[in-house]
Structures are given as structure tokens and as C-alpha cells.
């Protein structure tokens, strides 16, 4: 049996029928990691002791006839900005290279309570600053579909681990597209729920008003079940909301009678590869055949989302990263003559270039005389974009857009930061507005043969709409659950450059 291709439904059925045990699932997951991660480098830390202990608990409970959680026996891993007690939480930065979590993030704790088997922590762009996982201080992650190409970012490790069959589901965080874009690049399902659906407590913050935790999986049902496990009100996160929604319910309702929006300006946007537009139009045609009505809607202020994001995001990043002062924790430069020099040198050498760039930008934008010129207008634009979505969803139940203007690009192909930022041109606006969005794989691109995803956006706190549409659309495609590790139609690179670091062995610290 190919354990790597199993979905959550498959795992639940296999455990119930005693075809395999949770312990065997953990063994298979670590065997897959040993075989595949030397090429992919998705993991920064492995936690086998924690995973096997969790597997034993599941097997004992099943043997006793006890009911188990939604994620019982499911091999799962977490983006390395999510605290888990006794593991390193590095945010892929030298600044936190030696930091060991003294507590567990709510989203991680809920997944573990639901029976998940914690495999380890996953690579990312440093502090989630990036769209390619190239800014990680511990080496880049490689796209399992073509090892010469990026997996997307910042949750590149989370997407690649699922695509390579090393984890059934993973968690990532999304501030401007960091779940949906890597999901599209790696050919998996990635879901950023409405802001507030999942607690952010214990997740190292990038932009506190923009960040949201969400799942990656092989299927829509996988991400829905994972969201059932991790969603809900958390008193330690005042932005989190009560949730009575069962996200995995009603996935089979279909889309007959639903109104699906399309934004003409997005379909004609400059710089978007034709294969992306073709795949998006194909998805709309499939939904129409399934009984949905396609309706044109306008988002007149969406073009300003990128500008607003790169004011609000760096300002919040500057504020959040100010806590890393090298005194209480974090990288500390030796030989400083005084406290001021220690701060300066530790932060200069502990943070990578992209983190420094965003800290400096945020510092400038929040400075006297500049704050009023940029930050206030950015928040006004935010209000306009949010209102645009409210009006659009008075006309439709969901909106379909591209996820990214291109498929996965080669390492080093985009060196200019501004061009890299444009990778999120279709995803940023819903972080600004707070709506939920899902990336669904819809087959290989006509030109590149690489994975292409479409984005499904829903009204705030109506994430079931998104999952319902995604489940119906998923039935129109036959998507491979496992990537070929670089042996696909484009590129046959077989080895990772020697720059990569080996993952920590954790779980017993």
C-alpha cells in the first residue's frame, strides 16, 4: 500500500478496518521523509518521538473502542513559525536558530488533541517574508514537481511536504498569499480561511491584522477536516471568533443554482501567462456545466491592494520584529562594546536581507511626517477594498480568480524584489479585506506542464461556500496526489545543491 497517497478519509477507514495502525502510518511517514526530503528539503526539524507517542495513544484508544479525534493517525507537520513545546521555532531565521518553544500554539495544540501525528517543523521564507522559500536562512525548499523550481512561499515547506507525500496535511500561515500561492505551485489544496476563524496565538506574527493560519492537503475534504479540528474561539487571541460551522459538511451539495463571480479586470491583467488565464476560464466553464451561473463582478479598488499591503505589512512587521532584541532570546553578536552596539550588530547579522528590507521600510513608513502620508491612506484603501468585496458578494456566492500570474519559476529567475512581490497580485486583496480563499489544483499548464491553481474566494465567515464550490470543481479534474520529484514534464534535476542544512532532531528537548 502507498501510504503517502492516503487522504484523511482513507486513513480513517483503514484504521477502523484494522488494515494498518497509526504506528505503521508514522513509520511510513518517516520512511517517506528519509527517502524524499534530501531532494526537497521541506523539513527543518523532525519529531519522531512525539509522532510515535501520539500514534501509540491513537492505537490504544482504538483498541479500547474509544472514539478518536478528527485527525487521529494523520501524519501532520507545521510551518516553523508555529510554536510547539520542546521543538525549535526558528521562523527560518538565524535570529531564532537556537530558540526552543516553551509553549504550544493553539492551532498546533488543537491538531494534536484531534489525534494528529506531529512529524516536525517545515521550512519557510524567513519570518514569512517572501514568495519562493528562497529567503530561508537554512536553505531553500525545492518544488517536488521540478527540483529546479521554487515551491512558492512563504509556506513553501508546507506545500512541498504534502506534494511529495511526506505528510498527509500541514499547516501554513497566509499574510498575502503564503498558503494559496505555494499550493498552486505544488499542485495541492491550500486554504486561507476568513480572518479570525483560526487562532493566531503562538504563531510568530508578521502582520497581525493580515495573518491567518490554514491547512494544506491532497483533497478539499482533507483541508475541510483539518479546519474542523483547528477552528474556533480562543480567549488568548481576541481576534478569533466562535465557530459552529462544520466545514466538512455539505461538500457534496454541488453548485447548481450558485452564482459564481468573475472579475474581468483580473482575466485581462497585464503580465499574466496565457496558460493561467486558460486554466481559470476552464474552471469557470466546468462550474457552468455543473449548474452554476457565471456573473461578472467588479472590484474597482483591487488594483490598489498591492500598494496598501506594502505599507500596512512592513509597518506591522517592523512593530512585531522589534521584540527580537538579542537580550531575552534570539541571536546575540559577541564582542559588542555597549548595549546599543549589541542591538545593532545582533539584528544586522541575525536577520536576513529581506527581513532587513521590510524592517527598514516599516521604520520609514511609521516615522514622523511620513506616517500621515502613507499609513493613513493605506488604511483608507483597505476600507474601500473591503467594501468592494461586500458589494460583490451581494451579487454572487463565490468568486473565481487566478492564484498567481505564472506557474512555479526557476530559482534565481526573479531577482528584483518588486517583481517577486507581484507573485501575490491576485491573493493580497483578500488578506486586506479579511475574506477566505482557497487554491485548488486544476491540472498542468498547457505550456509548462506544471501545476496550476485557481482561487475560490467567499464572503467573510461563509467559508463553507468556498469548500462547497471547491469540492464540486475538484470532481472535474483528475489530479495526481503525489509529485514525481523532479521527473515531470519540465526539468529532471535529481539532486539538491550541498548548501542545505540537515533538520534538527527534536521532540525530547
Q: Indicate which residues carry an active-site annotation.
A: 79, 154, 178
Spatial distance between the Cα atoms of 367 and 282, rounded to a whole number of angstroms: 47
Residue 34, Cβ neighbours under 10 Å: how many? 11
Contact 455, 402 (CB under 8 A): yes
Contact indicator for 409, 149 with CB cutoff of 8 Å: yes
Tell me the pairing of strands 75-79 and 259-262: unpaired
Supply angle C-alpha 422, 428, 431, rounded to 5: 160
| C-alpha cell, 185 | 505551485
3-state secondary structure of 418: helix
Contact 314, 365 (CB under 8 A): yes
Contacts of 302 (CB under 8 A, 6+ apart): 263, 265, 266, 385, 388, 429
DSSP state of 498: T
Is the preceding peptide bond at 65 cis, omega within 30 degrees of 0? no
Q: How far apart are CA 105 and CA 455, in angstroms?
A: 28
How far apart are alpha carbons 231 and 226 in whole angstroms? 9
The CA distance from 81 to 128, in Å, is 8
- Parallel/antiparallel/unpaired status of strands 437-444 and 189-192: antiparallel
CA-to-CA distance for 44 and 90, rounded, in angstroms?
Answer: 9
- Strand partners for 88: 100
- Number of other residues whose CB lies within 10 A of the CB of residue 327: 11
Q: Are the C-beta atoms of residues 26 and 167 closer than 8 Å to each other?
A: no
Q: Which phi and psi angles does 284 have, rounded to 5°?
A: -65, -40
Amino acid at each position: 500500500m502507498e501510504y503517502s497517497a492516503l487522504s484523511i478519509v482513507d486513513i480513517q477507514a483503514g484504521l477502523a478496518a484494522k488494515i494498518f495502525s497509526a504506528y505503521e502510518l508514522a513509520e511510513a511517514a518517516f520512511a517517506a521523509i528519509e527517502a524524499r526530503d534530501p531532494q526537497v528539503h521541506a523539513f527543518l526539524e523532525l519529531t519522531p518521538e512525539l509522532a510515535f507517542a501520539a500514534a501509540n495513544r491513537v492505537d490504544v484508544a482504538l483498541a479500547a473502542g474509544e472514539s478518536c479525534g478528527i485527525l487521529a493517525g494523520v501524519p501532520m507537520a507545521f510551518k516553523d513559525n508555529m510554536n510547539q513545546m520542546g521543538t525549535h521555532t526558528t521562523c527560518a531565521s538565524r535570529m531564532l536558530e537556537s530558540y526552543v518553544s516553551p509553549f504550544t500554539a493553539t492551532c498546533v495544540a488543537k491538531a494534536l488533541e484531534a489525534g494528529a501525528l506531529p512529524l516536525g517543523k517545515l521550512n519557510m521564507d524567513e519570518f514569512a517574508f517572501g514568495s519562493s522559500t528562497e529567503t530561508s536562512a537554512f536553505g531553500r525548499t525545492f518544488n517536488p514537481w521540478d527540483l529546479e523550481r521554487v515551491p512558492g512561499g512563504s509556506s513553501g515547506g508546507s506545500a512541498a511536504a504534502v506534494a511529495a507525500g511526506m505528510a498527509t496535511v500541514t499547516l501554513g500561515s497566509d499574510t498575502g498569499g503564503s498558503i494559496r500561492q505555494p499550493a498552486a505551485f505544488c499542485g495541492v489544496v491550500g486554504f486561507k480561511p476568513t480572518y479570525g476563524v483560526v487562532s493566531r496565538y503562538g504563531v510568530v506574527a508578521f502582520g497581525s491584522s493580515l495573518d491567518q493560519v490554514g491547512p494544506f492537503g491532497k483533497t478539499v475534504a482533507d483541508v475541510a477536516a483539518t479546519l474542523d479540528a483547528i477552528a474556533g474561539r480562543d480567549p488568548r487571541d481576541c481576534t478569533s471568533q466562535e465557530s459552529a460551522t462544520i466545514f466538512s459538511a455539505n461538500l457534496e451539495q454541488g453548485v447548481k443554482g450558485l452564482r459564481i463571480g468573475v472579475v474581468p479586470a483580473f482575466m485581462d491583467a497585464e503580465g499574466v501567462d496565457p496558460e493561467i488565464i486558460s486554466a481559470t476560464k476552464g474552471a469557470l466553464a466546468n462550474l457552468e456545466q455543473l449548474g452554476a451561473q457565471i456573473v461578472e463582478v467588479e472590484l474597482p479598488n483591487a488594483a490598489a491592494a498591492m500598494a496598501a499591503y506594502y505599507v500596512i505589512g512592513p509597518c506591522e512587521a517592523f512593530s512585531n520584529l522589534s521584540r527580537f532584541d538579542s537580550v531575552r532570546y534570539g541571536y546575540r553578536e559577541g564582542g559588542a562594546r555597549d548595549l546599543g552596539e549589541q542591538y545593532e550588530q545582533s539584528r544586522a547579522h541575525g536577520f536576513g536581507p529581506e527581513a532587513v528590507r521590510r524592517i527598514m521600510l516599516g521604520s520609514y513608513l511609521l516615522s514622523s511626517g511620513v506616517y500621515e502620508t502613507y499609513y493613513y491612506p493605506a488604511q483608507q484603501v483597505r476600507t474601500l477594498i473591503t467594501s468592494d468585496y461586500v458589494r460583490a458578494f451581494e451579487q454572487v456566492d463565490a468568486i473565481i480568480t487566478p492564484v498567481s500570474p505564472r506557474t512555479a519559476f526557476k530559482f534565481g529567475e526573479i531577482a528584483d524584489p518588486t517583481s517577486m512581490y507581484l507573485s501575490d497580485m491576485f491573493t493580497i486583496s483578500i488578506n486586506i479585506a479579511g475574506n477566505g480563499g482557497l487554491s485548488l489544483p486544476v491540472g498542468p499548464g498547457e505550456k509548462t506542464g506544471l501545476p496550476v491553481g485557481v482561487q475560490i474566494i467567499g464572503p467573510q465567515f461563509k467559508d463553507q461556500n468556498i469548500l462547497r464550490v471547491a469540492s464540486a470543481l475538484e470532481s472535474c479534474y483528475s489530479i495526481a496526489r503525489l509529485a514525481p520529484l523532479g521527473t515531470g514534464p519540465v526539468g529532471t534535476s535529481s539532486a539538491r545543491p550541498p548548501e542545505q542544512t540537515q533538520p534538527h532532531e527534536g521532540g525530547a528537548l
